[in-house]
A and B are shown apart, each in its own frame.
Chain A
Amino acid sequence: MKTIIEEIDGKFVAKLSGEMDTLAAIEAEKVMKPLYQAGGKDVVIDCSKLEYIASSGLRILLNILKGAKAAGSKVVMKGVNEDIKTVFKLTGFISLFEFED
């Protein structure tokens, strides 16, 4: 699994590729932790190449969202596939995040 974070047009864009199983999530969190305090910048999580996510991954996303809400900024989930959308629905995360294709 690969995690890349870039700053584009004043937003943070995190690109997640591959499969985020519980172990991959531990590694991904190290890279994504700065986004827990994104300093008021909007965050885009590009999931167009993400094929799988375990609950540890969802926890990272929730932490990013909590930080963003506290700072009054947005988190947008981009390109989430149907399988992962199902996981978002089952956990109620579907109503917490904004989605873009």
Chain B
Amino acid sequence: MIAAYLVLLIPFVGILFFALAGHRADTGKINVRFNAVCLVATISLAINVLNQGTILSANKAFLIDPFNVYLIVLTAFVGLTTSIFSAPYMAHEKELGKLTDKRLKLYYSMYQGFMLAMYLVLTTNNMGVMWVAMEGATLATVLLVSLYRTPESIEAAWKYFILCGVGIAQALFGTILLYYAAAQIGNGEDSLLWSVLYEHASQLNPEILEIAFVFMLIGYGTKIGLVPLHNWLPDAHSEGPTPMSAVLSGLLLNDALYAVVRNKMLVDGANLSDMAGHLMMGFGLISFLVAAFFLHRQKDIKRLFSYSSIEHMGMMTFAFGIGTPLSTFAALLHMTVHSLTKSAIFVTVGHAAQVAGSQRMEKIRGLIKTQPRIGWGLLIGTIAIAGFPPFGVFTSEFLVLLSTMHSYPWLSPFLLLGIGIAFAGLFRHIQPMVFGDKPEGQLPVHANLWPVIIHLALVLWLGLSIPGFLANWFSQATILISGSTPL
């Protein structure tokens, strides 16, 4: 349990350290160290959970079970690799004169602030605290979206702030209704604890819970980026600094989905109707299809991949909505591979934009000739995210498709159509950027591509064979969420 407190304490110390120490030449490296220590702590926590099963802290404030522990490790891992990428990237941005020392201080301090909010969302046992931490994540990142202080970035940040703020307020209303339903059973202040709620789920009033879930889905769904609440997402991703896009896509969206799934588990426990699952399926499928079409009309490379994030989050929401053990397993796997692949892509996209000096796709040309490693990184990343074998995204998408054919066969054509459209949308843009002649005057930049290589290698490994301990882990989480084993 000490590890869990450590996971929260380290980023907290990080916020204070970066805020007080000011910006120095090695701040980026210190940020990497903070994240590395955090990763070690999360791994020891994960080993504990694997050996002992679910851990509940003594004051019941924190709950670590197989479902959230793997997301905690994933969060720490992506946080670490993104910080490795961010150190030279931000230094380069400073050389270009886009950023000052003061803003870099804010950036590093809020990077840790965001990590703290993410860990708190995942570890807390209290549904109210979960809401507070989710809102905290918005507040920590909103000034980072407007870090460059251009009119566009300020507009994007304002949109992000207002839309997510209003959206997430709906989730608070849902939480209040949940508390109201729970208070009728009478556990006093403990009523909002997830462990207590889950234990008494069958006694909760199903009608109130259904209304609460609708609000929760809309609220947290804004953060997942579900259509039609997705408007903030491409703006925030395209205007903020690239490391922020990587962690927003790789972590924030996942954690918002985590919050929705936690609530779905309560609703499923309270009544036998599939209302929660059907709502998630509907929203998920619409997001998936709409985002796939929007991919074709993009001009900005970061907007392109943020629409791809919406598409994948839609698919995960859909898969969790189906709710069979197989689809839940697929969704958990998809969460992992999508996070890894998408953050790797944003790393290469960041460097590609620095090479070209622009995020507009028509300016980015001939990457393989200018800087082969970035070009190949982008190409392989795109192949992985589009769902080609042998990468892990193929495995998870295939499992989602399989479970759809099993439970709702008439929906599988829509899935196939969406995958095809998204594939075409990605490749029509990527192909000229990667191949083709080298434009005049573009020089390679200093880039650390180890994060990309490690991420893509992991995704490849997950595609070829899922290691036993991980499969066991996913199975335990699947049992927790859907009630039985996937196979």
Chains A and B are bound partners: no
Q: Could you list which residues of chain A lie within 8 angstroms of chain B, going by C-beta atoms?
A: none
